[in-house]
């Protein structure tokens, strides 16, 4: 707020319009035109059918959302579904280090048995 007051005071003392004033003036004109168009359109709305229009919009939005969800689920189904893991299946060691440790322990056990 202080910045805007400083710019306005400087603008008044120099007698020139600053960039910000021109920018805000153009923005105000666009907002005023939009408001007048909105006011004109609002006058043509028949409020008797508003409930039907809102129901139609809700049904169409519901259909659109379901359609988008189906497309997304179809394209991304492999991402969201998990495979069933067989716990009885031996997957082996997780890393080479653990594999080496497992082989070393196995060789120790075989060596003791002899």
Backbone angles phi, psi at 40, to 5 degrees: -65, -45
Q: What does the pLDDT average to over 6-34?
A: 82
Q: What does the pLDDT average to over 75-91?
A: 62
| Number of Cα atoms under 13 Å in the Cβ half of residue 26 | 6
Domain boundaries, the chain: 1-44, 47-75
The SS3 assignment for 77 reads helix
- CA angle 92–93–99, rounded 5-degree value: 115
pTM: 0.31
- pLDDT band (50, 70, 90) for residue 68: confident
- pLDDT band (50, 70, 90) for residue 112: low
């Amino acid at each position: 707020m202080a910045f805007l007051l400083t710019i306005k005071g400087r603008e008044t003392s120099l007698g020139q319009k600053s960039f910000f004033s021109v920018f805000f003036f153009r923005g105000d004109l666009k907002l005023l035109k939009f408001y007048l168009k909105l006011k004109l359109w609002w006058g043509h709305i028949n409020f008797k059918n508003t409930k039907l229009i809102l129901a139609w919009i809700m049904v169409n939005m519901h259909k659109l959302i379901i359609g988008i969800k189906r497309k997304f689920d179809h394209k991304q189904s492999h991402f969201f579904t998990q495979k069933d893991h067989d716990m009885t299946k031996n997957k082996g060691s997780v890393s080479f280090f653990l594999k080496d440790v497992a082989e070393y322990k196995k060789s120790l056990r075989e060596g003791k048995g002899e």
